[in-house]
């Protein structure tokens, strides 16, 4: 209603967890927080780690972190995001992870990617397509994934895994078209494979770049790990593989059997992990046309379509708010692209071309 929903009904409808009068509100919050804290398995003697300020350099068309590099093509409205894999093997024990602190690659990468997503969402609203690249060694990324899974009961490892999960959720609910390019030298493995699974389109090179002297000798390959089958769920409570293969458990089982194996283009396409596998001759044109095509569409239509396709399956409070309401009621229906004098609804059937505002929320 226009007056809102009062406490008892909000509790009945499960919109809130608890009611408290104003006079004891602060005490009730503190009491609930203490109850939750006492259930933690983190040792009372455990020490946290310091999260030092990120080293971020912002230039005209470039943003640079240690593990994340951003390049902006403002004319086309495209952002290229390169994530670099680990440069050294992982620590061997949970204690070594604690000692590494915020320099531990999964945590450092997650912090930088999280900051990059927020920076682009707030400051580059007309860069409507994000193109993800990776560079590194599949085995190194898989080793870090294995370490996180092996020590998943450690409180710090759990928090790092939850940070990765939250960062990937933030990517899912960003109102941007997501494209992934898998090329020789990429490291879309496990945690980083989630970027490809989150993408609206994923292109994987079939073969090598024959005329590129700098092209690595290895073929492009993706590698699933245990991180793809549970720890990194979306806002609707299921994994990205489960979202992609709704009602097809046999497809997920087939991918699970390949866990730990490098999958080249044909195998990845057969398993449904990628969208297209152009060869060297078609690669440049296929990618160019895909990016130009996305840039020609209404950004509001893309926001709605992509939000609908990313979150199939069960609904949760998170998916209702971030996957539905934020995209539709709070954005699309209010925009002049739809209802303005020069909007799509007003000009439909006239033959006139809509002048879209390309900015995104």
What is the C-alpha to C-alpha distance for residues 101 and 53, in angstroms, rounded to an integer?
Answer: 13
Helix (H) or strand (E) holding 286: helix 280-296
User: How confident is the model at residue 357, as a pLDDT?
Assistant: 78
Tokens of 90: 């992982």
What is the pLDDT at residue 342? 80
* 167 backbone dihedrals φ, ψ, rounded to 5°: -65, -40
Kindly state the average pLDDT of the residues 257-275.
98
Q: Which tens digit of pLDDT belongs to each residue from 300-336?
A: 889 888 988 899 899 998 998 888 787 776 667 667 7
User: pLDDT at position 59, please?
Assistant: 95
Report the pLDDT value the prediction gives residue 147, as an integer from 0 to 100: 98
Of the segments 17-21, 225-229, 301-305, which one has the largest average pLDDT value?
225-229
Cα radius of gyration (the chain): 22
* pLDDT at 360 > cutoff 80: no
Residue with the bigger pLDDT between 112 and 4: it is: 112
Q: Using 50, 70 and 90 to split pLDDT, how confident is the model at 20?
A: very high
Asked whether residue 27 carries a pLDDT value surpassing 70, the answer given is: yes
pLDDT confidence of residue 2: 53
Predicted local distance difference test score (pLDDT) of residue 330 = 63
Residue 45: count other Cβ atoms within 10 Å of its Cβ: 5
In this prediction, residues 84-103 reach a mean pLDDT of 96
DSSP string, 290-358: HHHHHHHS-HHHHHHHHHHHHT-S---HHIIIIIIITTTTTTGGGSHHHHSTTSHHHHTTT-PPP----
For residues 145 and 227, the answer to whether their CB atoms sit within 8 Å is yes
Better-scored residue on pLDDT, 41 or 176: 176
Beta carbons within 10 angstroms of residue 204's beta carbon: 28
Average pLDDT over residues 103-107: 99
Q: What are phi and psi of 223, to 5 degrees?
A: -140, 110
pLDDT in tens, 113-145: 999 999 999 999 999 999 999 999 999 999 999
201, pLDDT greater than 90: yes
State whether residue 139 is helix, strand or coil: helix
* Residue range 263-287: mean pLDDT, rounded: 97
Tens of pLDDT along 178-195? 999 999 999 999 999 999
When pLDDT is averaged across residues 133-158 and rounded to a whole number, the result is 98
Does pTM surpass 0.85? yes
- Listed residue (113, 109, 117, 168) closest to 141, CA to CA: 109
Share above pLDDT 90 across residues of the chain, in percent, rounded to a whole number: 73
Q: Mean per-residue pLDDT for 102-115?
A: 99
The single-letter DSSP state of residue 126 is T
The domains located in the chain, with CATH, are 7-38 (no CATH), 57-296 (3.90.226.10), 303-347 (no CATH)
- pLDDT for the residue numbered 4: 74
């Amino acid at each position: 209603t226009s007056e809102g929903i009062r406490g008892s009904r909000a509790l009945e409808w499960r919109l809130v967890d608890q009611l408290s009068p104003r006079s004891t509100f602060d005490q009730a919050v503190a009491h609930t927080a203490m109850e939750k804290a006492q259930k933690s398995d983190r040792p009372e003697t455990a020490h946290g780690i310091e999260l030092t300020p990120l080293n971020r350099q912002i230039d005209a068309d470039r943003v640079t972190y240690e593990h994340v590099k951003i390049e902006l093509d403002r004319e086309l409205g495209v952002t290229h995001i390169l994530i670099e894999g680990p440069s050294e093997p992982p620590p061997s024990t949970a204690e070594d992870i604690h000692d590494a602190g915020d320099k531990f690659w999964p945590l450092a990468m997650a912090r930088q990617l999280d900051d990059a997503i927020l920076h682009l969402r707030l400051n580059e609203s007309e860069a409507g397509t994000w193109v993800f690249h990776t560079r590194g060694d599949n085995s190194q990324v898989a080793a870090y994934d294995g370490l996180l899974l092996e020590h998943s009961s450690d409180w710090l490892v759990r928090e790092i895994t939850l940070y990765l999960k939250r960062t990937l959720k933030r990517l899912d609910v960003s109102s941007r078209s997501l494209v992934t390019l898998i090329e020789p030298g990429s490291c879309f493995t496990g945690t980083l494979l989630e970027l490809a699974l989150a993408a609206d389109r994923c292109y994987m090179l079939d073969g090598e770049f024959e005329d590129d002297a700098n092209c690595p000798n290895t073929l492009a390959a993706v590698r699933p790990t245990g991180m793809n089958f549970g720890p990194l769920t979306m806002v609707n409570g299921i994994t990205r593989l489960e979202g992609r293969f709704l009602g097809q458990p046999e497809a997920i089982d087939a991918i699970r059997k390949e866990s730990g194996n490098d999958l080249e283009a044909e195998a990845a396409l057969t398993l449904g992990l990628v969208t297209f596998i152009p060869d060297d001759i078609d690669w440049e044109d296929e990618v160019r046309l895909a990016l130009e095509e996305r840039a020609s569409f209404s950004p509001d239509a893309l926001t709605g379509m992509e939000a609908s396709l990313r979150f199939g399956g069960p609904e949760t409070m998170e998916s209702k708010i971030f996957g539905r309401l934020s995209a539709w009621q709070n954005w699309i229906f209010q925009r002049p692209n739809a209802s303005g004098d020069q909007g799509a609804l007003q000009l439909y059937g006239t033959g006139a071309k809509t002048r879209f505002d390309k900015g995104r929320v």
